[in-house]
Amino acid sequence: MGLSYTPADGTSTAVTLALHRDDLTSASKIYQLPPVADAVGQSFTFEKTDSGGNTTTIKPYTAETIIGQTTLVISTQYQTVTVFAPLTGTDWLVTGTTLTSDAATHAALTAAHGATGANVGTTNVQSFTVGAKTFASGILNATKPKITTSIDDSGGNEVIKTPATASAVNEITVTNSATGDPVDISATGGDTNISLTLTPKGTGQVKTTGDGATQWTETALTAANVKALRATPISLVAAKGATKVIEFVSAIILLDYGTTQFAEDAGGSNLGIKYTDGSGVQVSEDIEMTGFITQAADYMTTTQAKKDAIVTAAGSANKALVLHNIGAGEIVTGDSLMRVKVAYRVWTTGF
């Protein structure tokens, strides 16, 4: 089924043009879109070419809608609008707008496609009115626009995907704020109690930033790193800059067993997490290696923050957290790997 229109005088004419351009000096026109199901994947562009007061009205087929509205009106010279029939549903989409009525764009279209229209693809869409809603000067005002797949950036890349959930009753609400107040993202909807889940992809993390936000990082150590921790501590969290101090919260240490067990020095090879390097202040409890590092299987252990880890400003501000062998000698032999996951917070000190 082609695209049909009905001018204001009641005459109805069917058209098949993807781009339809009208001089409305003598009368307004009303276009009747075909059923969405008969035009899936097609787009139709309309332009008003005259400066008079007559308008172009676009209306959907019978009970269908255009972005939820029953009419769309173009009233200014050189304004254009493009509508698109989606794969599902009965609601025509509007593919975008330009900022103002544009004589240069009009001239280019005339040169390329003639004065009345052509079978071409979509073009840029200019300002227009849908029912009581105005789309002009770069502002999209709509109470309830329908996004079928995603919101894209200016380069056509996806920013936010919007997959549909059958019979959905819950959603998120984003609330802006006045000066000094926080912006709010909240779970809202029909249910009384609604959880909010943030799901990273693969081995990715959900990260928060800002003063006091708990963050975490993972560091992988080779067997050679493990056996040299007394002489060469390994950085776990990089320094965060002037006036910033890292608060160690906790760590989990994972032993990925290889084929040969590690062995402690005869005087012990416990580990600790410190500021800066091996001479820095220790901020974790001692990490016991006996019964852990010598195992011939995959193992884990944990450590917490040391109570009353008192340190000077010079020894903590803008300093990294490192893993150090605090025992009498290096860990020896062995070919296993070690992974250290550290939870920490960053604070602005004021000094």
Domain boundaries, the chain: 3-161, 214-348
pTM (predicted TM-score): 0.58
Burial of residue 229 (CB within 10 Å: 0-12, 13-18, 19+) is buried
Q: Among 2.60.40, 3.10.590, 2.60.120, 1.20.120, what is the CATH number of 214-348?
A: 2.60.120
- What is the chain's pLDDT, residue by residue, as a tens digit (351 residues)? 444 434 334 554 544 577 888 899 998 888 888 788 877 788 888 888 888 999 888 878 778 888 888 888 888 888 888 888 888 889 888 865 543 344 554 555 455 445 444 443 333 334 444 445 544 444 455 556 777 778 888 777 889 998 888 899 999 999 999 999 999 999 999 999 999 999 999 988 888 888 999 999 999 999 999 999 999 999 999 999 999 999 999 999 999 999 999 999 999 999 999 999 999 999 999 999 999 999 999 999 999 999 999 999 999 999 999 999 999 999 999 999 999 999 999 999 988
Tokens found for residue 349: 């000190």
Q: Locate 154 and state its tokens.
A: 């200016």
Structural tokens at position 195: 């959880």
So what's the pLDDT on residue 121?
36
Determine the pLDDT at residue 136: 47
Fold equal for 3-161 and 214-348: yes
Q: What is the pLDDT of residue 16?
A: 57
Query: Alpha-carbon distance 217 to 306, whole Å?
Result: 19
pLDDT at 81: 84
- Interatomic CA distance for residues 274 and 271, integer angstroms: 10
Q: What integer pLDDT is reported at residue 8 of this predicted model?
A: 35
Residue 272 pLDDT: 98
CATH class name, domain 3-161: mainly beta
